[in-house]
Amino acid sequence: MKIKHFLIALVAICLVLAGCSNSDSGDKKDSKKSDSNDKKQELQISAAASLTDVSKDLEKEFKKDHPDAKITFNYGGSGALRQQIEKGAPVDVFMSANTKDVDALKDKKKAHDTYNYAKNKLVLIGEKDSDIKSVKDLKDGQKLAIGEAKSVPAGKYATQYLQDNGLYDGVKDKLVYAKDVRQVLNYVEKGNAQLGYVYKTDLYPNKTKNDKVREIEQVKLKKPIVYEAGATSDNKLAKDWMKFLKSDKAKKIMKEYKFEN
């Protein structure tokens, strides 16, 4: 009898342990599933510095249909951002201030679903109370700020313009290089440079005209400035974001910040 009772007790213990094991396994599966779902709701976007303001409104509009999306922006020069992606940075969408950097990623199979989402203008700005009207008017000791041509599209556009119009040699000793257009704007605002080349849109933070600098002229380039974006991962939210950029709602927001469609 004792043996019979012992065997029954042993079987009961085994059943209890098996149930606990299955419960733990189920909990782990549910946990993994939850972690996977959480990860799918994250969206990492690398964006050109000139998109710093407009991207915040784009995010608000996008989250109306994707309330659980957690969006993180990384701003910088388009060339530098491209290099980060090439080196394996965890990025889902790349919003460039040109087409070259996105196309380079596309050629390497690192970008897809690409789209030319906006256009911009390059402008020459000066200190608010300055009477300088051209880069030709810069005197010894005065500076012209531009973005690094290798990593900042605006810097490349500015350099090309100066060279095409025979102005580069006259100002090359006065150039101050910046990591992005926002730094160029800051240099002129603070008086660290008397002139600078930025995008038209940089003069309208929060949709209002910047009163700390003076717009001198709009630069006439040989080719229009086209902004291109592309998905750089298989994240579903990345494809949703690219689809959103093509919407009338997104285009309206871009226009409010002086971007052209």
Is the Cα dihedral 192, 195, 198, 202 positive or negative?
Answer: positive
Tokens, residue 1: 């009898």
DSSP one-letter code for 133? -
Q: How far apart are CA 126 and CA 132, in angstroms?
A: 7
The response to whether 157 counts as a known ligand-binding position is no
The response to whether 227 counts as a known ligand-binding position is no
CA atoms within 13 A on the CB side of 164: 11
Tokens, residue 49: 């510095």
CA atoms within 13 A on the CB side of 249: 14
Question: Which residue pairs from 62-65 have beta carbons closer than 8 angstroms and sit at least 24 positions apart in sequence?
Answer: 62/240, 62/241, 62/244, 65/244
The response to whether 181 counts as a known ligand-binding position is yes
- Residue ranges in 130-235 assigned as alpha helix (H): 153-164, 168-171, 181-190
**Residues of each annotated binding site:** 50, 78, 154, 181, 199
**Residues of each annotated binding site for molybdate:** 50, 78, 154, 181, 199
